[in-house]
Every structure is written in C-alpha cells, then in structure tokens.
Amino acid sequence: MRYNRINIITSAPKPPEASILIIYTGGTLGMIHDAQGALKPFDFSSILDHVPSLRQLELNLTVISFEVPIDSSDISPTEWVQIGKLIYSEYDNFDGFVVLHGTDTMAYSASALSFMLENLSKPVIFTGAQLPISSFRSDARENVITAIEIAAAKENGAAIVPEVCIFFDYKLFRGNRSKKVESLYFDAFESENYAALAESGVVINYNRSAILKSNKKHDLILHDRFDNNVAILKLYPGMTKSYVTSVLGCDGLRGVVLETFGAGNAPTANWLIELIEEAIKKGITVVNISQCPGGTVMQGRYETSKRLKEIGVVGGMDMTLEAAITKLMIILGDEKDMTEISLKINASKCGELSLN
C-alpha cells in the first residue's frame, strides 16, 4: 500500500507541544467541491487554509493519506490492518493519533482497532464529518480541531485518553461502545451503554472515571489476524427456516452474531433452536447480541432465551453489534478452541462490555 505523507508544524517558529499523526482514509470530511461543483478528495497540504485555527494548537502534525481515499462503505479488515500497522510502526514517534474516516462504518473500524491495539497508552481518535470540509456549514472543522486537541491532551506527562475513541459533534465516545445513529443531522454517534468520555464546549470536560487507565508498563501489541468467516443472523418475526438455514450454512462459517430481541430473546420454535444447536455442534461459535441499542443480554431470564443458553449460545452482554462482530473476527483469527473463544468473548478486552 502506498501513502502520501506531509508534515506541518503549526507552532513554527516555536517548538511544538505535541506530535500528532493524522491518518486520512477518506469519507465525506475530506471532500471539496471543484470548479464544476463535483466532490473530489481534498489535498491535505492545504489543511491550514481550511482549518486556520489549527495554528493556535502549536503542534507538529504529520498527515498520512491513503493514496486512493475510500468511502467507508468499502472498508474491510485489509484497511484495518493497514491503519493498525501504521499506528504500530509510528507509535514511538507521536503523542497521539487521529484517524479521519467516513462515518458509515466508523464504529466498526474503531471497534476493530481497539481490539487490535493491546496495551494502548496513547489516544487514537477517529473522526469524520457529515458535510465536506469545503461546505459552508461543515461540521468537519470542529470535529478535526477537537479530535486533534484530545489526541494531544496530557496530564503529568501521560495521555488523558489512552483509548480508541470516536469524537463527533462535541462528544467523545469509546470506539467499541459507539454506533452511527443519524445520517442527516450532526449528532451522528451515540454510545447507549456507556457514558461519553468527554464533552467539548467552552472547555473540554473529561469524564475521568469512565476513561480506561493507561497501560504504559507493557509494550503495545498489534493483533492483525482477522477471520471474516462470520455472519450476522438478525431475528425477526416471520423469518423462514430457509433464511436461517442459508445463513448458518455459509461455506467455512466459524462464528455468528445472533441479533435477538430485548434482553436476548428468540422465538421458541423447535426448528430454530435445532438449527442453531446443529451449527454449534459443527464448531460454529454463536454470540447473542440484542437488537436494542441499550440494555444487556440476560440468557435465561425469559423462557425465550433459556434454550439458547442450554444449547451453548454465548451471551454477548451489552456489546454493540459492531464490537461483537469485529471482536469475533479477531478472536477467531488467533484461536481454534471453542471454549477459549467463548471465554474471550465474555471477557472485557478494552472496555467493550460491562461485567456486572
């Protein structure tokens, strides 16, 4: 993969207060209108013209752009590995990282990166925009400036937010707790099951008790093996046996995220339970996630989830779908044993689920 790289020292002639690596992958944020009014990717060497207030931050900014910026609908584990490898190889050279990314799949990418970067002690802040940076009312400027400020923020020499996060519309969320919830207005992200890590206004107010503690004692480890032989089986009233059979019958399938109702409930029809049981017996890990954005899966609470528990479906607690599917892919990339896989799904790797 080839990248374009530029360096901007906003503090010159003074020495910079922090060094930030911006990784530009594509998405709406980085688009500008050309003379004919068509949207084309933005040249980052002119970022100071578009966001002049960056000059007040006194930073050393390096921007690495994907040679061909992509709409985030085209993101896949290949790009997650590229982003992970860039952060891993540049880790000692920067105080923090900002990933500019389309909003559509940002929650998947932020979740994936949170699982890839074990022992993270520096901020990795994803952001994007609902309107291109060249648009009159664009949200890009505020999102980029504050994401950079958070990536550079330190206290007693340590990063304030040593996590993979999404900053959007004045709020900072844990990446693996976030969900895109809005495609029209600026408040595109929500984190229903976990408090915002910070809110920006006149000042940036950090929710310190909610932020993960930095893991400086251990070196950063990069997990970059994904097994994408997974599927999402969304339940709905009236689904047919052939729908379930075809999802569970995918070639090479190793893991399924079962999107259930409410607190983890499913229809009690024998054919459904038998198909899921058969899949588990064949070695497919099935993880139960609720279709509700808030609350948690409690297998066994209702009659309608008791049988799922009995046949060996793994309760995914309060994980988002985005966290569950990326976590499953990364665990399956490293692990073969089904008991180990279930234990790892149920453990909190980096704050993606609540243990009580």
- Please list the active-site residues: 28
* Cα→Cα distances 11→96, 141, 157, Å: 17, 18, 20
Q: Is 315 among the residues that bind ligand ASP (CB under 6 A)?
A: no
Q: Is 77 among the residues that bind ligand ASP (CB under 6 A)?
A: no
Instruction: Show the tokens assigned to 171.
Output: 């709020």
Residue 188 makes CB contacts below 8 A (sequence gap 6+) with 103, 130, 168, 169, 180, 181, 182
Q: Is 109 among the residues that bind ligand ASP (CB under 6 A)?
A: no
Residue nearest to ligand ASP (CB): 102
Q: Using CB under 6 A, which residues numbered 28 to 57 contact ligand ASP?
A: 28
Q: Is 27 among the residues that bind ligand ASP (CB under 6 A)?
A: yes
Hey, which residues does 22 pair with through a beta bridge? 63, 98
Q: Is 103 among the residues that bind ligand ASP (CB under 6 A)?
A: yes
Place of tokens 């901020």: 123
Stretch that binds ligand ASP, among 66-74, 112-120, 134-142, 270-278 (CB under 6 A): 66-74
Q: 96 vs 132, which CB is nearer to ligand ASP?
A: 132
Cα 129 to its chain centre, rounded Å, is 16
* Cα→Cα distances 198→165, 211, 293, 326, Å: 10, 9, 20, 24
Provide DSSP, 19-42: EEEEEE--SGGGEEE-TTS-EEE-
- Least Å from the CB of residue 107 to ligand ASP: 11
Give alpha helix (H) positions in 39-139: 47-50, 77-90, 106-116
Which of 19, 60, 98, 104: binder of ligand ASP (CB under 6 A)? 104
- Least Å from the CB of residue 130 to ligand ASP: 6
278 with 256: CB under 8 angstroms? no
Q: Is 95 among the residues that bind ligand ASP (CB under 6 A)?
A: no
Which of 128, 255, 264, 351: binder of ligand ASP (CB under 6 A)? 128
> What does the chain come to in residues?
356
The 189-228 site mask, x for binding ligand ASP (CB under 6 A), equals ----------------------------------------
- Least Å from the CB of residue 70 to ligand ASP: 7
Q: 102 vs 316, which CB is nearer to ligand ASP?
A: 102
Provide DSSP, 194-257: S--SEEESSSEEE-GGGSPPP-TTS--EE-------EEEEE--TT--HHHHHHHHT-TT--EEE
Q: 73 vs 242, which CB is nearer to ligand ASP?
A: 73
262: left (phi over 0), alpha (psi -120 to 50) or beta: left
Instruction: Show the tokens assigned to 355.
Output: 């243990």
User: What number of other Cβ atoms are within 10 A of residue 38's Cβ?
Assistant: 9
Residue 54 makes CB contacts below 8 A (sequence gap 6+) with 10, 47, 48, 61, 144, 145, 148
Stretch that binds ligand ASP, among 97-105, 165-173, 270-278, 338-346 (CB under 6 A): 97-105
Stretch that binds ligand ASP, among 100-108, 231-239, 257-265, 324-332 (CB under 6 A): 100-108
Collapsing DSSP to helix, strand or coil, 153 comes out as coil
Stretch that binds ligand ASP, among 47-55, 71-79, 89-97, 342-350 (CB under 6 A): 71-79
**# binding residues, ligand ASP (CB under 6 A):** 10
Q: 28 vs 176, which CB is nearer to ligand ASP?
A: 28
Which of 65, 72, 176, 178: binder of ligand ASP (CB under 6 A)? 72
- Least Å from the CB of residue 188 to ligand ASP: 7
Where does this chain bind ligand ASP (CB under 6 A)?
A: 27-28, 71-73, 102-104, 128, 130
